[in-house]
Amino acid sequence: MHIASITIDLGKTTFHLVALGERNKVLVRKKFSRSQLFAHTAKLPSSLIGLEACAGAHFVGAALREQGHQVRLIPAQFVKPYRKSNKNDFIDGEAIAEAVTKQNMRFAQLKTQEQLDWQAMHRERDRLVQRRTALINEIRGFLLERGITFAAQPIHLRKNLPAVIEDAEQNLSPRLRWLLDRMWQEWKQIEIDVSAITEEIERISNDDPRCRQLRQIPGFGPLISTATVAAIGNGAAFRRGRDFAAWVGVVPRQHSTGGKQRLYGISKRGNVYLRRMLIHGARSVLFRVKYDTGGFGQWVHRLAQRAPLQQGRSSDRQQTGAHCMGRIVQRPRLPTSAAAATGGSMMAVEKALRLESTKRFPLFHRHGGGYY
């Protein structure tokens, strides 16, 4: 019995294993608990195993890879076209097993423990920031009902809230003062927690060489650099910077047919948190590029003249996306003589970088010309 591919439909406590042979014939259908699953896969010969990229997939994938199996993660939207008729766990497993054998399928990378730790830190920080915003809005609403208002920035509320709570002349009941004091203490604790996580992220960004390379890109700081590495690792899943920009959802959405090109707004696919951080980085670049007379500054000025501000920010992210992938694969710097010869043209700089990198690092390139 020759097994072409194996798939495991993941769950919290139960796992459904499906093995396909030649011509996609179902050979095995079994249901396991977590302990039974790893005991069974350890007895199997080295095989191609497909998993749907969902919660727990990185842990299961790492455990299977340690057993000698070839593991591939498939996003759920790419599995759905292979599912036939009704839906259950075994049918989902068959669809994954069929999709994992396709040569042109797009797979997700297994994240390392380090990447998962960084990702958890970013998610916890984002949760705390959202909680802080909700808390500030709630305090403002309570005070507005008593006729007390503050300017829009949180700094004004933070400076004046303790005085308002202590001021006996304010139209505040004792119960509301007690409640506002508890909310003020909660706000201060959230600020401490956000600062602690931010400091740890900055330390990671300073110590990791990949983050230091990314921070050379305009608009990339500790938060964006660590979030990017946590999301894509070394960037081997992308052939070129344009692929990374498409994955993060900052390229136009296309719906073309009949030879007519129809392009709409940015697709907004992929990692929502990373895309938001990248757009914030682009906004900071646009604010500070006014006095930049180099090639990048001239490109941003031309873009601002012909495109709206928000569209300009997304285009800025596409441009820096190419630089991002180049930094991740450790593309060499452009020599000074080559930079002078290009006359500041961004396309010429990219071409010179690609030619120089192909000579020095041929293993990083495919025949199609993209970085791997």
Same domain, 267 and 127: no
Which own/partner contact pairs does 253-257 have at CB distance under 8 Å and 24+ positions apart?
A: none
370 domain-assigned: no
CA distance 83 to 99: 10
pLDDT band at 318 (very low <50, low <70, confident <90, very high): low
pLDDT at 222: 93
Q: Which residues does residue 371 pair with via DSSP β-bridges, in sequence order?
A: 365
Same domain, 238 and 309: yes
CATH of the domain at 90: 3.30.420.40
372 domain-assigned: no
Q: Helix crossing, 154-166 with 113-144: angle to 10°?
A: 50
Same domain, 285 and 354: yes
φ and ψ at 238, to 5 degrees?
Answer: -115, 140
| Residue range(s) defining the domain that contains residue 34 | 5-99
pTM of the full predicted structure?
A: 0.76
pLDDT at 236: 81
The fraction of the chain above a pLDDT of 90, given in percent, is: 25
Same domain, 95 and 117: no
CA distance 343 to 112: 42
pLDDT at 87: 85
Same domain, 359 and 214: yes
pLDDT tens digits, one per residue of 296-312: 778 777 877 776 656 55
Quick one: 141 exposed, middle or buried, by C-beta within 10 A (0-12, 13-18, 19+)? exposed
User: Phi-psi bin for 119: left (phi > 0), alpha (psi -120 to 50), beta?
Assistant: alpha
Between 134 and 323, residue with greater pLDDT:
134
pLDDT at 320: 55
pLDDT band at 266 (very low <50, low <70, confident <90, very high): confident
Same domain, 329 and 246: yes
Q: Give, as one character, the DSSP assignment of residue 312.
A: H
pLDDT tens digits, one per residue of 323-351: 444 444 333 333 333 334 334 444 444 44
pLDDT tens digits, one per residue of 195-242: 999 999 999 999 999 999 999 888 889 999 999 999 988 888 888 888
pLDDT at 126: 95
